[in-house]
Amino acid sequence: MRILVLLVLCAVSAIAVQLQPALVAADEGSRVRPIARVDAGWWSATCEVPPGARTRGGTPLRPVLVVSGDGAVEAIRYVPRGGIAWQQLEPVVRRIFLQQEKQEHVAAAVLAGSAISVDSIATSAEPATPPLYYFRASKRIPDPRGPVDLDADGEVDPRGDLRIDVLGWLRGTGDLATSIGTNTTLSWEQVDERRPDSGTRSSDLVPIGIVRAGDQRAWVMQGHAGSSTWYTVYNVATGGVRMLAKADPGRC
């Protein structure tokens, strides 16, 4: 009887350890910003910071993930531009971009006049089967008007460029790589003639790490628009992409 009781207590203790919640946060240098809580496979936004969390050299634009409990972090690496993997994946990204831009109802002649830029392709620093990749691609269509345009009221109408961004994930490598989730945005960017780089911007969604929690591998992304930043967690699997949690600015 005593042996049975001991076995039951050990089993309960093991389950408690296994189901220990994990807290995910981002070290931004001046603070550790809470992102999500993982409890028995369920993700939710939280204002809890991992116990004893301290800054580890992160910055607002290059945050470092901090995870407690049973969670573990996988680093992100970028596929070298021009390397073998890049040469295999770039044509796939371009085909996906061409498919997505057709849905934006921009004249084909306008689209044909601008080149696609494959900005980056990222993956886990640790091998995964099948491999998963996150890509960013864009196309900027310059404003054909001159530096000054007067509208019907005689006022200056600012110049602006049209921009198409396609972000998403790929599964597999080479010719077998397929899309498992994309997001396309069409935006207009005002051009400041005093700043030659004013018509360009970086992507709004950048991967900062992958969190392993149980049998899940969740991608943690940093979004930014102007001075505002937020974090979104996605479950990326062979069946598709699903948002698990989002930490909005000012929530905590």
> pTM of the full predicted structure?
0.82
Residues 6+ apart with CB under 8 A from 221: 205, 206, 207, 208, 231, 232, 233, 234
Q: Once rounded to an integer, what is the mean pLDDT over residues 53-57?
A: 72
Q: What is the pLDDT of residue 157?
A: 63
Q: Once rounded to an integer, what is the mean pLDDT over residues 71-85?
A: 94
d(CA 237, CA 243): 11
Question: What confidence category does residue 16 fall into, taking pLDDT thresholds of 50, 70 and 90?
Answer: very low
pLDDT tens figures, 27-41:
998 889 999 999 988
Residue-range domain boundaries for the chain: 20-247
Q: What is the pLDDT of residue 166?
A: 96
Question: What confidence category does residue 201 fall into, taking pLDDT thresholds of 50, 70 and 90?
Answer: low
Compute and round to an integer the Cα radius of gyration of the chain: 23
End-to-end CA separation in angstroms for the chain: 50
